Structure 1
């Protein structure tokens, strides 16, 4: 965080050097040189104050506190942070820079609810401009006052938050369909008249006039409507037992426990959310349950016929050297390529997209 204020730190060191020089006026050859150094010192001190030199450490503490990095963690090495904590720290550093415009690409990823609420309030009162890409509609409703909707090769500007955009967009789409259908009806009538009358000697001139009229029409493109969306469902090979997972006094962590005495009882149809601040052990618990990490204490058991699928936030199980098609095909080599491509198509990987390497595919 201090690296954001490196220019101020250099200026501060220069001020200290000048203070030491001014404390020894006898080293100057003449009064004029002393006055020059004194004026330089006054100018630097004024600039230092204007740029927040006397409050940047306080600003750092304030921002870090908002992202729940307290003083006891100031000396913690970044490599030891969880994915969510790294996201918070990167955002904290960016906000501290106090730029005229913030460009935020999916800023809510990996943020816990408390930090997300703090960020919403901070950005809602930000003095600069914000340009945000996000799939979190509730976050957008709180923060934005304009929306640019990008669809294929076009963009359209709407004033208001995301919910207001949806209302405006639906109204615009309905209007576009009415205009399109009306014009299509007019075109069909003209084309029918031309087709029926172009060969008749008595009506040829009128048919030719209609044809010219058709050529001059500025045709409205068919409304695009909603973009394609991924679609999928979860299927099971065979029903599991009534009990899905049972933990008894489970302790998780690395060298030291992050959480202990975890007693969890999950039934077959349960859908469970793990909530809590970043770094308290949510991902560590999941990694323990799939045996990527050993349990520090206690036990856990899965029910009969229980099969586990695991999706991690770092996407570490993807091979960046493989293409999209190879990634799935290598996991299920017995399946026909057509089946693999059909499944990829349901996730919007079509055409040449399946030939892209995993590292060149966008995270979402």
Structure 2
């Protein structure tokens, strides 16, 4: 990427001169120096980075990332992508975890605000609005010494965007959860499965609800009426997936395949199947969601839906400084997932 320093070196001027000459918010200078700077910038292919320049003007070139927990591989992967994309722009990303608790999220936001971050990316959005934390407010400006002039007004509210989850109120960068669930379900139906269990996630997470919705829609499109008895689960953890798997596999007429809306819960389902002496995929097909690195290295590699976390991260960064008309709907950037078939899914041995 061509930087302002590259342009300054080639034009034989200072970086501040380049910055002024290329700043579209300022009156266009017609001086020979400014014209030369613009010509050099065009020749080098310089493109202004609005995120980096905007955050530098704001103050610390630091953004805060709030996640439910870093022990969740999905959240760790997304944070690493955000940190890498930020570093490319000269911005530092710092992370805080909340255990998916609204009160802990408030404390994390306050802590990051005290460190005067220039923006927040949250993966903790909840649809139960009564528990949702208010938008964090900027840290107050320090008091002026006695006899000194009053301090300038505080900084404007810090931008905040969401990633992976939405709440309908804030800008968000997400994967297409409806599409991903439809891909997973269609894959199992195309293999010949008709009794397909669903291991869902928490009801406050938009990602879980949309994957549940996509699963039901795909079944109906294929002429299969969704059966509520085949739908269970309320968390993204392996333990929750194992408990949900045991419930489904203990039914008098158990499913021949299970779609888990998260790879962790899919691993829990595999454990439940093993406890009952079932073989995957001979006795039970399983499909997960996210494609965390572990699942391709299991004894039976897991079929799953791959989320492009790099695209989600870059989208969230772009939204931090995107200028929007007041009163308009919050923008949502949606990245397209991909089905990754592996050994854990195959046609059923017994009639579906």
**TM superposition score category, shorter chain reference:** under 0.3
Please report the TM-score for the alignment, with normalisation by the length of structure 1. Answer: 0.23
The structure having more radius of gyration, on CA atoms, is: 1
Please report the TM-score for the alignment, with normalisation by the length of structure 2. Answer: 0.24
Q: Which has the higher helix share?
A: 1
- Asked which structure has the greater RCO (Cα within 8 Å, sep 6+), the reply is 2
